[in-house]
Amino acid sequence: MLNKEEVKHIAKLARLGLSEKEIEKYQKELSSILDYIEKLKEVDVSSVEPTSHPLKVENVMRLDEERVKAGSVNPENLAEMAPDKKEGYVKVKQILNQ
Nearest-angstrom CA–CA distance, 80 and 69: 19
**What CATH number was assigned to the domain covering residues 4-41?**
1.10.20
Average pLDDT in the 64-90 region? 74
Is 91 within 8 Å of 85 (Cβ atoms)? yes
pLDDT digits (tens, 9 = 90+) for 15-71: 999 999 999 999 999 999 999 999 999 999 899 888 888 888 888 888 887 776 666
How many residues are recorded in the chain?
98
Could you tell me the residue ranges of all domains in the chain?
4-41
